[in-house]
Amino acid sequence: MMFKFSSSVLITILVIALIGTGYFGYQENQEKNAILIKAENQYQRAFHNLNFHLNKLQEELGKALAVNSSKQISASLANVWRLAYSAQSDLGQLPLVLLPFSKTEEFLSKIADFSYRILIRDMNNEPITEKEYKTLKFLYQSSKEIKSELQNVQEKVIDNQLRWMDVELALAQEDKKMDNTIIDGFKTIDKRVEEFPETDWGPGLNLTKNSEDKGSRLKGKTITKDEAKKIAIAFLKIKPDVKIDVETNGKGADFPKFSVQVQGKTSAYLEITKVGGNVVWMIKNREIKKKVLSADQGVEKAEIFLKNHQYKDMIPVTIDEYDNSLIINYVCQDNNVVIYPDKVSIKVALDNGEVVGFQSTDYIFNHKKREIPSPKISKDEVLDYVNPNLKVTSIRLAVINNIDDIEVLTYEVMGELDENVYRIYINAENGNEEGVQMSTS
């Protein structure tokens, strides 16, 4: 009796098994939906924060035009600087990698740099000039236009309950049938910014490298479409029989390049320079499932990837974890000096350790052999040049691009003040403050 199965018992077991299978399938689907909802919420939050920060940015520019005292102008410009960087941060959290939005990002960067340049000088001895006041008026009107266009997009997003996940999918698949309201809205904004008249940003800020300059900095032989295809296959380590489409981007691009689309079980998109055959960026379009690896394991995977692709002497400088993935910014290190212009960004999926995103624009255009001078200010002396209220946590030598886009050797002083983390860059030769970065701790 003990080993005898009746048909009813067998059926019962099969039913339980099927229910179990259905349950686990249901559970997996629930987890997948939870991941998608989390990603969508993050995109929506970043988008609405972008609107908020641009509204406040325009308000502060208006205040800077209206106030008369140096103290009040400085206060408004400090807020302009902070809000411009916050808006750039918001943009960085949106799935716009495949959408040309560089003109708007560049414009926000210039606003931040312009306000910072005025902010760090003694306004009593060097009050705001007529040219700078004229530039402020231009920025106020321009930010008003950007804000208005962005509000139009926001209203449509809310009224039509549009999803950013659909935007990401449409961009990746170049789907012309999907609702592209958000994409079209952002393209309109970037086109409008491109049409803004030239303005006087002051010394240094007009020296943005044009497309001819950028293209001329590429070294190596000019590759063909077929060679671009082979580079993509080698970079992704995939079989050569996979379907790959290669298109040429020339006119209107920052530099001559190929756009590569790899179709298969996991689709991938790459941009490769025509001169030199360098992979500028790569994205693998797949769902990242439940987290399995730790952040440390993710970093290990990224470093193996860098080593396999011949990126040497790289160290991580920022590590951010979200949506079961790790975003790591790496820079070169030369004799214990951090070289910030030579930056590479990597996105690692924490479900299996696969590198699903890669960006090396800065590295491609900046990496070179450098003669780094010896600092004239000691590590101890640099503390005399920073706010005494800053709780310093680390100091190291770093090469950065200053506000005039010139490489300088600095001390990177990291510290905490009022619940914020600061990276302050002090010129290692003369003690001048070359830049400040802030993030909430």
Residue 272: pLDDT over 90? yes
Equal fold, 286-367 vs 381-440: yes
* pLDDT given for residue 281 in this prediction: 87
Residue 264, pLDDT above cutoff 60? yes
Topology annotation, domain 286-367 = Nuclear Transport Factor 2; Chain: A, (3.10.450)
pLDDT at 315 over 90: yes
Q: What is the pLDDT of residue 210?
A: 42
pLDDT grade, residue 435 (50/70/90)? confident
Residues whose CB falls within 8 Å of the CB of residue 275, separated by 6 or more in sequence, listed in order: 215, 218, 219, 220, 221, 222, 223, 255, 256
pTM of the predicted structure, to 2 decimals: 0.63
Check whether 71 has a pLDDT greater than 80: no
Q: Where are the domains of the chain?
A: 30-207, 209-281, 286-367, 381-440
CATH number of 381-440: 3.10.450
Q: Nearest CA to 84 among 104, 63, 54, 55?
A: 54
Contact yes or no for 222/243 (Cβ under 8 A):
no
pLDDT at residue 115 in the model: 84
Q: What is the mean pLDDT of residues 72-95?
A: 81
